[in-house]
C-alpha cells in the first residue's frame, strides 16, 4: 500500500462531474496545499468560484498549471490534444500530468507527443460516474471502492507512478495498472457497449409508431427505465468515446450481435430450453458484482418505495 | 375513483415475488376477511406458512379457490393453462379470476376456454418487480405508484371490472385498461426487449476470450452493472414471456436492430454529429420518466456511496 502523498499544488482542467468530484475530494481530504482549477466555459468557472470548488479558479489552462505538481485534464477525450498543447509550455519540470478519459490509447497518442519530456505523463481512468454532468453534479465520495486504471507509457518514473497511485487511493479508489490497449478492450465491453446499447434502445422506444411516448414512460418500470440512466450521460463525452475507441467497440458489438442472433433464433424456434439455460447463467454474474462491492445488494438498486396507506377507506 | 372494495375470501395461486407481495399488501391493508394461498412447490408452501404470508396455506389449487371471491394466478405465463384447468371445477359462481402475467394475449387464449362462464375472467399485469424471486422477495409496497394494466375480454361485467380496479388501486397502483394485443406490443418495448438485450449483453461479457470475468466484474461500474439487474430475473418467467409474446418481441427487435445499425454505421464512419444528436435526444426520456414518478431523481438510482476518510494518513 503506497503512503498517502501530498502535493504543493494540484491543477484541474475541466470541472464537470469527474473534475468537480476530484476537486471536492482533494479539498475534503487536504491532499494539496493549493488547489487550482479552470474550465473552458466561463459560466462553469463562475459557478465553480461561487461554490468554492478550488482555492483559485484560473481563467486559462496556462495559468492553471503554472507551478503545479499534479495536473489532471478532466475533459472529454476529444479535447485532450488541445489541452496538452495549451499547457505544454507552462508545465513545471517534474510535474505529473494525467487525465480521466474513458479511452486510453487515443489519449496517449494525442497528448504524449505534445508534452515536454521533463514531465511524467500517466493516463488514468477512474471507472466511476453518474448520469449527471457539470460542476454541481460532483461529490467527494464518487471514487470510493471504484477502480482507477492507470496506463503508464513504458519507462515511466516509478516514484511518479507511485505518487499518482497514492493520490487515487486517497480518494478511495482501487488502482490497477494495465496497457492502454487492454484498457480500451476491457472498457469497450464493461462500459462503451452498454452505453451504445442503452442509447439505441431508448431511441428505438421513442420512435415507435404503434406505442406512444406516454406509454413508454408509464410502463417503463418493466425494465426499460434501467436503460435510461446511462442513456442520459453526457453526449459530448460519449461521442468522443465512440469516435476514439472505434475498433474495440466494433469488435465487442460483433460478439454481441452473434449472441443476440442466437437468442433471437431460440425465440423464433420456440426453443425454451436454450432460453432457460442462458437466463440461468446470467443470473450468477450480478451476484459476483455485488460480492465485489461494485453493486448494491438491495433489490431494484435500492430505489425508494413509498409507504402503503394502512387505513381502509370508508 | 372507485371505492376500496372488500372481499370475503381472496385466493392466491403462486407465492413468488408478485404473489407474496400481493399477499403482504392484502393482509397489511385488510382487503379480505380471509386470505388463502398456495404454491406448486411444497418448499414454498412450507416457507409461506412459516412467515405467515396468508391466513391459510392450501395444499392444492382446488382447495385454495373454494369459495373465493377473487382468485389471482401469480404463476409464470406458461403455467396459466394448467392452473385454469385445475381450478375450473372448484370456482364459486360470480368469482373474479385474474392473473399477473407479463403477456396477456397468450394468457387470455390459454385460460379463457377452460374457465366456466359463471366467473368473471379479467387478465391483469402489474408492471412492477425486482430482480429477486420467491416468497421472501416480496414486499407490500411493490405496487405503489406503478401501473397495473387490465385487459378484460369484450362484454365483461362492469361491476367485476370496477372491483378488480379498486383492488389494485388499494395496493397503490394506477390502473389502465387496454386490449391484450396492445398490451403485448407496449410491454414488448418497455419490458421484454430490454430484458432480452440485458440477458444478451451479460452473456456476451461473460464469454469473451480477451477479457476475463474478473475484469468484467471489477470494471462493471462503467455501465455494465446496470444491465445485470434485469438479467438476474427469474429464468422460468422470462422463458415463458419470450415463448408467448414471440411476434411482438421480434417486431421490436427488428426496430432495435435498424437503429443499432444506424449508430454502428455512424461509429464506423466517424460521424460525430449523428452520434451527438442521438445522445442528446435520449437524455430527455429519462427526465420524462422521473417527472412521472416512475424513477428516482437521485444520481445512480440512489445507490449508496461510502464516506470518504477525512483524516490524512501519517
Does the CB of B261 have a partner CB in chain A at under 8 Å? no
Of the candidates B31, B193, B235, the beta carbon closest to that of A276 is on B235
Does the CB of B168 have a partner CB in chain A at under 8 Å? no
pTM: 0.94
**Domain A7-178 CATH (choose: 2.40.37.10, 3.30.9.10, 3.90.1570.10, 3.40.50.720):** 3.40.50.720
Sheet with strand B174-177: strands edge to edge: B124-126, B147-150, B174-177
Distance CA B56, CA B2 (A): 29
Does the CB of B11 have a partner CB in chain A at under 8 Å? no
Half-sphere exposure (Cβ direction) of B25: Cα atoms closer than 13 Å: 26
According to the CATH classification, is domain B183-299 in 1.10.3660.10?
Answer: yes
Give contacts of A230 with chain B, Cβ < 8 Å: 223, 226
Q: Which residues contact A276 (CB under 8 A, 6 or more apart)?
A: B235, B236, B239
Of the candidates B206, B225, B264, the beta carbon closest to that of A295 is on B225
Give contacts of A103 with chain B, Cβ < 8 Å: none
Per-residue pLDDT band for B305 (boundaries 50, 70, 90) equals confident
Does the CB of B242 have a partner CB in chain A at under 8 Å? yes
Q: Given this model, what pLDDT does residue B307 score? A: 83
CB A176 within 8 A of CB B218: yes
Contact A219 B4 (CB under 8 A): no
Distance CA B263, CA B271 (A): 9
* % of chain B at pLDDT higher than 90: 94
Q: Of B151, B167, B143, B67, give the one whose Cα is nearest residue B112.
A: B151
Q: Mind listing the pLDDT tens digit of every residue in chain A (314 residues)?
A: 457 899 999 999 999 999 999 999 999 999 999 999 999 999 999 999 999 999 999 999 999 999 999 999 999 999 999 999 999 999 999 999 999 999 999 999 999 999 999 999 999 999 999 999 999 999 999 999 999 999 999 999 999 999 999 999 999 999 999 999 999 999 999 999 999 999 999 999 999 999 999 999 999 999 999 999 999 999 999 999 999 999 999 999 999 999 999 999 999 999 999 999 999 999 989 999 999 999 999 999 999 887 876 554 43
- Number of CB atoms found within 10 A of residue A63's CB: 15
Give contacts of B309 with chain A, Cβ < 8 Å: 29, 172
Locate the domains of chain B by residue range: 7-178, 183-299
**DSSP string over chain B:** -PPPP-EEEEEEE--SHHHHHHHHHHHHHT-EEEEEEE-S-HHHHHHHHHTT-SSEE-SSHHHHHTT-SEEEE-S-GGGHHHHHHHHGGGPPTT-EEEE--S-SHHHHHHHGGGS-TTSEE--EEE----S--STTT--TTTTTT-EEEE-PPTT--HHHHHHHHHHHHHTT-EEEE--HHHHHHHHIIIIIHHHHHHHHHHHHHHT-SSS-HHHHHHTGGGTHHHHHHHTTS-HHHHHHHHHHSHHHHHHHHHHHHHHHHHHHHHHHHT-HHHHHHHHHHHHHHHHHHHHTTSS--SGGGG---PPPP-SPP-
Alpha-carbon distance B127 to nearest alpha carbon in chain A (angstroms): 5
Cell triple for residue A17? 462531474
Contact A285 B228 (CB under 8 A): yes
Question: ipTM value of the model?
Answer: 0.94
Please report the number of interchain residue pairs, chain A to chain B, with beta-carbon separation below 8 angstroms: 416
CB B179 within 8 A of CB A210: no
Three-state SS letters, B89-129: HHCCCCCEEEECCCCCHHHHHHHHHHCCCCCEECCEEECCC
Of the candidates A203, A233, A240, the beta carbon closest to that of B281 is on A203
Give contacts of B191 with chain A, Cβ < 8 Å: 219, 222-224
Q: Which residues contact A10 (CB under 8 A, 6 or more apart)?
A: A26, A31, A32, A34, A35, A36, A68, A69, A70, A71, A72
Q: Which residues contact A295 (CB under 8 A, 6 or more apart)?
A: A286, A289, B220, B221, B225, B228, B303
Of the candidates B203, B272, B292, the beta carbon closest to that of A218 is on B292
Cell triple for residue A124? 488514468
Of the candidates B221, B292, B296, the beta carbon closest to that of A217 is on B292
> Per-residue pLDDT averaged across B71-85, rounded?
98
Q: Given this model, what pLDDT does residue B132 score? A: 95
According to the CATH classification, is domain A183-296 in 1.10.3660.10?
Answer: yes
Contact B219 A129 (CB under 8 A): no
Give contacts of B102 with chain A, Cβ < 8 Å: 222
Distance CA B235, CA B232 (A): 8
Tell the burial category of A192 from Cβ atoms under 10 Å away from its Cβ (0-12, 13-18, 19+): buried
Whether the pLDDT of residue B19 is over 80: the answer is yes
Alpha-carbon distance B45 to nearest alpha carbon in chain A (angstroms): 23
Does the CB of A136 have a partner CB in chain B at under 8 Å? no
Does the CB of B208 have a partner CB in chain A at under 8 Å? yes
Contact B275 A194 (CB under 8 A): no
Give contacts of A232 with chain B, Cβ < 8 Å: 282-283, 285-287
Whether the pLDDT of residue B1 is over 70: the answer is no
Give contacts of B243 with chain A, Cβ < 8 Å: 267, 270, 272, 275
Per-residue pLDDT band for B314 (boundaries 50, 70, 90) equals very low
Give contacts of A198 with chain B, Cβ < 8 Å: 223, 226, 282
Substitution target from A1, A188, A308, A310 for chain B, most B beta carbons within 10 A: A308
CB A239 within 8 A of CB B279: yes
Does the CB of A217 have a partner CB in chain B at under 8 Å? yes
Distance CA A243, CA A255 (A): 19
Does the CB of A287 have a partner CB in chain B at under 8 Å? yes
Amino acid at each position: 500500500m503506497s503512503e498517502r502523498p501530498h502535493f504543493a499544488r494540484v491543477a484541474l482542467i475541466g470541472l464537470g462531474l469527474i473534475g468537480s468530484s476530484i476537486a471536492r475530494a482533494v479539498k475534503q481530504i487536504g491532499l494539496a496545499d493549493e488547489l487550482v482549477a479552470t474550465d473552458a466555459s466561463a459560466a462553469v468557472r463562475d459557478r465553480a468560484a461561487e461554490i468554492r470548488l478550488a482555492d483559485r479558479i484560473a481563467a486559462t489552462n496556462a495559468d492553471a498549471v503554472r507551478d503545479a505538481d499534479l495536473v489532471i485534464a478532466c475533459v472529454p477525450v476529444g479535447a485532450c490534444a488541445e489541452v496538452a498543447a495549451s499547457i505544454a509550455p507552462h508545465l513545471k519540470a517534474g510535474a505529473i500530468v494525467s487525465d480521466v478519459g474513458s479511452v486510453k490509447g487515443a489519449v496517449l497518442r494525442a497528448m504524449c507527443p505534445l508534452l515536454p519530456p521533463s514531465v511524467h505523463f500517466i493516463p488514468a481512468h477512474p471507472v466511476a460516474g453518474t448520469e449527471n454532468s457539470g460542476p454541481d453534479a460532483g461529490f467527494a465520495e464518487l471514487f470510493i471502492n471504484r477502480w482507477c486504471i492507470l496506463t503508464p507509457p513504458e519507462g515511466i518514473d516509478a516514484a511518479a507512478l507511485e505518487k499518482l497511485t497514492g493520490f487515487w487511493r486517497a480518494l478511495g479508489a482501487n488502482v490497477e495498472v494495465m496497457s492502454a490497449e487492454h484498457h480500451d478492450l476491457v472498457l469497450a465491453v464493461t462500459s462503451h457497449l452498454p452505453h451504445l446499447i442503452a442509447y439505441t434502445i431508448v431511441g428505438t422506444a421513442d420512435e415507435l409508431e404503434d406505442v406512444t411516448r406516454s406509454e413508454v414512460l408509464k410502463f417503463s418500470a418493466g425494465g426499460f427505465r434501467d436503460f435510461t440512466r446511462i442513456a442520459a450521460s453526457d453526449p459530448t463525452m460519449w461521442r468522443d468515446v465512440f469516435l476514439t475507441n472505434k475498433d474495440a467497440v466494433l469488435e465487442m458489438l460483433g460478439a454481441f450481435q452473434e449472441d443476440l442472433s442466437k437468442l433471437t433464433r431460440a425465440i423464433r424456434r420456440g426453443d425454451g430450453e436454450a432460453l432457460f439455460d442462458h437466463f440461468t447463467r446470467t443470473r450468477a454474474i450480478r451476484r459476483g458484482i455485488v460480492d465485489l462491492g461494485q453493486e448494491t445488494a438491495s433489490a431494484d438498486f435500492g430505489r425508494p418505495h413509498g409507504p402503503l396507506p394502512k387505513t381502509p377507506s370508508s
